[in-house]
Structure 1
Amino acid sequence: MNPQPPASTCYRHPDRTTGLACTRCGRAACTECLRPAAVGQHCVDCLAQGRTDIRPVTPTAPASTARSVPYVTYVLIAINVAVFAVTASQAHSIADNHLSRLFFDWVLEPPAVAHGQWGRVVGAGFLHYGPLHLAVNMFALYILGRDTEAVLGRARFLAVYLTSLLGGSAAVMLLATHTATAGASGAIYGLFGAMTVILLRLRQSPTQMLILIVINLIISVSLPGISLWGHLGGLLAGTLAACGILFLPQWLHARTRESVVRTGWAAVAGIAVVALALIGVGAAALS
């Protein structure tokens, strides 16, 4: 079956606009016509075909399988691991990699950003304090990233991830000005929020995801050295970005595929701009 580009309306309900699509056949479908799958979501027709299809399995994977590979998630993990390897090499220590020159140049220190070192607001999201910090965050990114990327698509997933990262940096710049913050946690908390929005859009219970968020926030409060504000900022930015993609076009009664896509991208861009503006406000207050 060759995937078709998503339309602006559900293929079974032409009167319903949607920003979602079956990750198997690619057809646009509303939440009533989609069911959660191991990767993404499948339409009811694909599910029925899967139950009745008795053709022998061939070694060649269908095109839809390749389409669902979470390449962006894997690339993000690879970049984080590569940056950690550089810091460990420079510091000549895996445990004390924060003593490296790259770590010194990229860690999010609000006063340094106020003096013009804006690269820290993004670079800090790819630094980690030791192998345990890296392993925990990369495991979370692997688990959350696969499904979030499958539903949102590669470009929108990357946009939500980076917007969440900026949201975490903005919260640190405004509310944790005397800290040195590093880690992908802000962006990962954004994926927690995005996955919760996805479950709501698919009319699935978000209870388990909400419990995970609460548990992680309790850990953030209980353990020293964890950036609570960075986590909360990333969570808020990722949640809002996912709402902008999955709900805002419906709220604004977008009727065409182009308007649905344009509205979603405009929402994500707007949140990113607000995060950058708040970073600027924080920097101005410190300068």
Structure 2
Amino acid sequence: MLTGCYRHPQTATGVACTRCERAICPQCMVAAAVGFQCPECVGDGHAGTRRATTRFGGAIAQDGGLVTRVLIGVNVVVFVLAAYVLTPRLGQVWELYSAGRSVLGGPDGVADGPAQWYRLLTSVFLHLQWWHIGTNMLVLFWLGPTLEAALGRLRFLALYLLSGLGGSTFAFLIDGESLRSVGASGAIFGLIGATVVLQLRNRGPLGPVMAFLVFNLVITFSRADVIDWRVHMGGLVVGALTAAGLMYAPRERRGLVQGLALTGSVAVVAAMLVIGMARYGA
């Protein structure tokens, strides 16, 4: 006589779990290497299995470039809105703008206080010329997926945002008395710095990325009249330091060290903002 399934007693079955030997019906059968197992035994087997991660502790995703594409999409949408739909209002409200206390009408913008600090982040997503967004998004498309696959989505997003904020706050620290700037260049230079760190960590070829970095630095300082070198350098340094903390964290204390690295980057950004406010704020 057939036995009823342990989960569905009304269903008779002649099959038993190969691990616990309880009767299981077709609805509860989970194919195993040999025979079938019940859902509880399958769950117990998976409980001891370590979650697969990237080399630097991030969750492995089937689509390694999702965050990169989302960032590109957000930048493109903001560009269309700022350049063609809500012009010039959106650019005026979102740009990295600061006027110190010695300027007539100042302090204004970032120097005016916390209510205007949002500009440090919104300016990272703001472009007003097609060549500007085109150049930045091309580099993001080129470097982003590799870093995202290596770090995982959340760590990569944190790297991108901290690099952008690092560029903005460094520009404010250096020249918050009279400052206007837009663009994702700080975040992009942070990704370049992170790629250098990644190649060092993997002992890969440094020539191509170093040549690319030097090329961009030459352009930055040769066109300082139209390119904000402060944003580029701030993003580069913060991005490289953040990446170093994420990629060189020892496996046995990876979570702690990476958390401290991200906290340290936030602290650097906060310190630059506080010093800048002391120099230019009310």
Contact 2:91 2:128 in 1 (8 A): no
- Matches of 1:221 and 1:199, distance apart in 2: 25
CA distance in 2, matches of 1:246, 1:118: 30
Tell me, yes or no, if the aligned pair for 1:199 and 1:206 is still in contact at 8 Å.
Answer: yes
Q: What is the CA-CA distance between 1:156 and the residue it aligns to?
A: 0.2
Where in structure 1 are there 5+ consecutive unaligned residues?
A: 9-17, 27-65, 92-98
Give how far 1:90 is off. Answer: 3.3
Select the residue among 77, 89, 106 that pairs with 1:101.
89
> How many angstroms does 1:4 deviate by?
6.0
Cα distance per residue 1:127-169 (max 9 Å; x no partner): 1131111111111111011111011110000000011011101
Structure 2 length normalisation: TM-score? 0.73
Which position in structure 2 is the counterpart of 1:264?
258
For 1:72-221, what aligned pairs fall within 5 Å after superposition? 72-90=67-85, 99-111=87-99, 112-116=109-113, 117-177=116-176, 178-221=178-221
Report the secondary structure of 2:198's partner residue. Answer: helix
Count matched residues.
Answer: 221
The one-letter code of the counterpart of 2:275 is V
Tell me the residue number matched to 2:226. 225
8 A Cα contact 2:196 2:210, kept in partner? yes
* Counterpart Cα distance in 1 of 2:141 and 2:84: 25
1:207–1:260 distance in 2 versus 1, CA, 3 Å: same
Who is 1:284 aligned against? 278
Q: SS of the counterpart of 2:179?
A: coil
Q: Distance in 1 between matches of 2:91 and 2:256?
A: 37
How far apart, in 1, do the equivalents of 2:237 and 2:140 lie? Answer: 17
Q: Is the 8 A contact 2:170 2:234 kept in 1?
A: yes
C-alpha distance 198-68 of structure 1, shift in aligned 2 (>3 A): farther
1:5 aligns to 2:51 (yes or no)? yes
Q: Distance in 2 between matches of 1:119 and 1:126?
A: 12
Normalization by structure 1: what TM-score?
A: 0.72
- Flag as ranges the 4+ runs of structure 1 deviating above 3 A: 18-21
Question: Please, which runs of 5 or more residues in structure 2 have no aligned partner?
Answer: 1-45, 100-108
Aligned residues: percent identity?
37
Please give the alpha-carbon distance, in whole angstroms, between the structure 2 residues aligned to 1:85 and 1:76.
Answer: 14
- Following superposition, the deviation at residue 274 of structure 1 comes to 1.5
What is the alpha-carbon root mean square deviation over aligned residues? 2.3
Quote how far apart the aligned CAs of 1:175 are. 1.2
Change (3 A) 1:76 1:7: closer
Larger CA Rg, structure 1 vs 2: 2
* Structure 2 CA distance for aligned equivalents of residues 226 and 115 of structure 1: 24
Residue type of the alignment partner of 2:79 = F
More strand per residue: 1 or 2?
A: 2
Letter in 2 for 1:114: A
